[in-house]
Amino acid sequence: MFAYPNPNAIREQFDAALEEAEKRFAAAEAARRVHPGDTVEFVRAESAYRRAMLIYHSCELELRTSGTLNRSRRHSTCKVLLYGRGELVRASLADLLRIWGYKATVTATLAAMRTARKELSHAAAVA
């Protein structure tokens, strides 16, 4: 198995990627509030957020494969149902919950949430 020479460098990259993703998320949400619809400003902000999330997920994968990031197993059976109108918020919350070891189900409509609640048992529902 390949061993990284400096696991702290990977952790630093992960932390920087997380910080950048949080900044880009805030910028995308601000652009959504100021520039409704598919304006150039909003599309650029959302694209920058998606790129930041790709880098973040890449760093997370490196940490997981190197064994540096230990996933919590205590929540592995706990399921959380997420509902909300904001796609970026839903996706970010789901990512955080999965990193923390929860099983997250994401729904965009009330009808989908009701269906998911009937089909699966969840410990919590977040709106």
Percent of the chain with pLDDT over 90: 13
Indicate if 57 and 4 belong to the same structural domain.
Answer: yes
| Dihedral sign for Cα atoms in the order 67, 71, 72, 77 | negative
Indicate if 45 and 91 belong to the same structural domain.
Answer: no
CATH code at position 125: 3.40.50
Indicate if 40 and 3 belong to the same structural domain.
Answer: yes
How many domains would you assign to the chain?
2
pLDDT tens for residues 6-23? Answer: 657 878 888 899 899 999
The alpha carbon torsion through 36, 51, 86, 69 (nearest 10 deg) reads -160
pLDDT tens for residues 16-55? Answer: 998 999 999 999 888 888 877 778 888 889 899 999 999 9
Q: Determine the pLDDT at residue 3.
A: 47
Indicate if 120 and 76 belong to the same structural domain.
Answer: yes
